[in-house]
């Protein structure tokens, strides 16, 4: 693992940023570079993953149906969209992070976002909707409800590592060139 401390933070400008880069092997997927930067002053954090081998744009679909499925490995790059239809989506963007986790970790991230939405909701209907979605996550974790987990990544740096996961080529719209 390579680590550089006391770098200039792109947010606060102080020399309090720590940069790390390491390589990990994800069985049945391949080697990944894992990058992260954390500012110990303003708490800015950014992380991402990138495959060492080139992967084509991909879409993974996995049916979560049991407690055992909580352990299935998930690799998500910052460019990927993670969806559970009728529940929630984690979108890419400048604040998005890449990570290596498992299905339970994805559900916990969604649970945390829903808890924040519930606690911040001013409207009772919004609060009720968030509570119902939180109950659904618990049922999914306990294997009481089946749902699809979908990851779409135009960079090809994401995966659901399971024999049950269906991988297809993601159709990516060509980027129009500015003239």
Cα 152 to Cα 20: distance, rounded to the nearest angstrom: 26
Question: Of 18, 36, 53, which one is at a domain's C-terminal end?
Answer: 53
Six-digit token pair at 39? 């500012």
Question: Of 53, 72, 92, which one is at a domain's C-terminal end?
Answer: 53
pTM of the model: 0.85
Q: Are residues 130 and 80 in the same domain?
A: yes
Residue 175 located in a structural domain: no
Q: Is 30 left (phi over 0), alpha (psi -120 to 50) or beta?
A: left
Percent of the chain with pLDDT over 90: 83
Q: Side-chain half-sphere of 159: how many Cα atoms within 13 Å?
A: 19
Residue 17 located in a structural domain: yes
Cα 100 to Cα 160: distance, rounded to the nearest angstrom: 10
Residue 98 located in a structural domain: yes
Question: What is the Rg, in whole angstroms, of the alpha carbon atoms belonging to the chain?
Answer: 18
Q: How many domains does the chain have?
A: 2
Given this model, what pLDDT does residue 55 score?
85
Q: What is the CATH number of the domain that holds 104?
A: 2.60.120.1040
Query: Domain containing 21: what range?
Result: 1-53
pLDDT per residue as tens digits for the range 30-70:
899 999 999 999 999 999 999 888 889 999 999 999 999 99
Residue 178 located in a structural domain: no
Q: Are residues 44 and 61 in the same domain?
A: no
Six-digit token pair at 95? 């604040």
pLDDT per residue as tens digits for the range 59-115:
999 999 999 999 999 999 999 999 999 999 999 988 899 999 999 999 999 999 999
């Amino acid at each position: 693992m390579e680590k550089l401390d006391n770098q200039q933070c792109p947010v606060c400008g102080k020399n309090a940023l720590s940069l790390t880069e390491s390589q990990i092997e994800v069985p049945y997927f391949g080697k990944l570079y894992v990058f992260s930067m954390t500012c110990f002053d303003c708490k800015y954090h950014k992380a991402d993953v990138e495959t060492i081998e080139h992967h084509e744009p991909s879409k993974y679909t996995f049916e979560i149906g049991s407690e055992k499925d909580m352990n299935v490995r998930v690799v998500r790059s910052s460019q990927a969209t993670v969806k559970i239809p009728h529940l929630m989506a984690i979108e890419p963007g400048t604040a998005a992070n890449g990570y290596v986790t498992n299905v339970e970790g994805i559900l916990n991230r969604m649970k945390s976002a829903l808890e924040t939405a519930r606690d911040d909701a001013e409207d009772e209907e919004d609060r009720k909707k968030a509570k119902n979605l939180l109950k659904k996550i618990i049922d999914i974790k306990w294997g009481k409800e089946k749902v699809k987990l979908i990851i779409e990544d135009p960079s090809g740096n994401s995966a659901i590592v399971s024999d049950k996961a269906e991988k297809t080529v993601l159709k990516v719209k060509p980027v129009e060139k500015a003239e």
